[in-house]
Chain A
Amino acid sequence: MTETDAQHPRDWRHDAYDALKRLDVRHVAYVPDAGLTPLIDACLDDDQMTTYVLTTEEEGIGVIAGADLGGERGVLLMQSSGVGNCPNGLTLVQNCGFPLLTLVTMRGEWVEFNPWQVAMGQATAPLLEMAGATVWRVDQADDVGETVFGAGATAFDSCVPCAVLFSQRLIGAKKF
């Protein structure tokens, strides 16, 4: 599935989408993020996927847990700042053994223009780990597909929270 063409390199967000398809993810809850737009758009266009636009990221944990009660798999897409909105919701995952796969686009760590992003960007991975999640970080576009697949398989097979952080260097610094 990985077409590479020197003129038109494959977008890593499509590798993430293909991994979600391999994992049979049917529910996609998200707070919109520019870094994930091609992935969100692919999910919105997929008739096999139910999408949920959230007002705050913690809602996505409830949605994914509910979908799991119904026997289906979900993913939560968010930006690093949104991880700060999740800790109490994450207790639901730990207390009940819900699988949780979350894909997080990083801010506040590389060529960051907005100082308000730095505090939460630096706290993102420790906070997820404190909440019991296993965290993978991706810096290279070529690693996205397999990392998302591996994290998802771990989440769904072992019923644990797993997070993949897409580094700011991978995404590209936001231009103002």
Chain B
Amino acid sequence: MAARSTNRGLDRRALVAGVLDDRADDLLVVTGLGSPTYDVAAAGDHALNFHLWGAMGSAATVGLGLARARPQNRVLVITGDGEMLMALGALATVGAAPAQNLAILVLDNEAYGETGGQASHTAFKTNIAAVALACRLRDARTVTETVQCSDLKEFLLNAEGPVLAVAKIAQDAPERVLPSRDGHFLRSRFQAALLGENTP
């Protein structure tokens, strides 16, 4: 039973809403599949959100390619511990690329929330922020207290990247808020909002 997480932890919805509150027009957001997508959708639909509904493990690399193609924008990847754990190698790829405008937020409830709450590796003490530092991201930290959240927002939106933050969240399951599942629509809408007439 040691693997079961407790319900203590940050409120995921409030945390994500706070990070995206008063959002800058040029912020680009990529979300990993599952609950982080619902958290971002709950903070308000936005054309410059790109939501992954599959391809688990791809959130960080989509963010990386986007960040390198658009150095004038800030890119924030918001994903979960399970999605990030599937792509720990991607952190090495991020660490090898000088993406100063890339930040990754891992919402870590130490469980696979979509599939019944099975313990993830972070419940067994895998430390994703430590992995990120070992992969030579510029900075990485773990946030456990609400009082740290304003610093977290500043870190994610302004620190020289690539940076990663792990937020230890509670293991509750707020109501699902579902954005569009139409990938063609999400891509086209994102490109039109970002690129306007220069959309390929």
Contact = CB atoms under 8 A, between A and B. Distances in A.
Interface of A: 26-27, 29, 50, 52-56, 58-74, 88-89, 91-92, 95-98, 156
Interface of B: 28, 30, 50, 52-70, 73, 87, 89-90, 92-93, 96-97, 183-184, 186-188, 190-191, 194-195, 198-200
B69 A92 contact: no
A67 B93 contact: no
Contact of A66 (B66, B96, B195, B198): B66
A48 to B, nearest CB: 13
Given A69-B66, A71-B194, A58 B187 contact: no
A52 B58 contact: no
Contacts of A95: 53-55, 183-184
Contacts of A26: 69
23 contacts: A27-B65, A29-B65, A53-B93, A54-B93, A56-B89, A61-B58, A62-B60, A62-B62, A62-B90, A63-B65, A65-B58, A66-B64, A68-B200, A70-B65, A71-B69, A71-B70, A71-B199, A72-B69, A92-B62, A95-B54, A95-B55, A95-B183, A156-B200
Nearest to B181: A95
Contact of A62 (B55, B190, B198, B200): B55
B107 to A, nearest CB: 19
B95 to A, nearest CB: 10
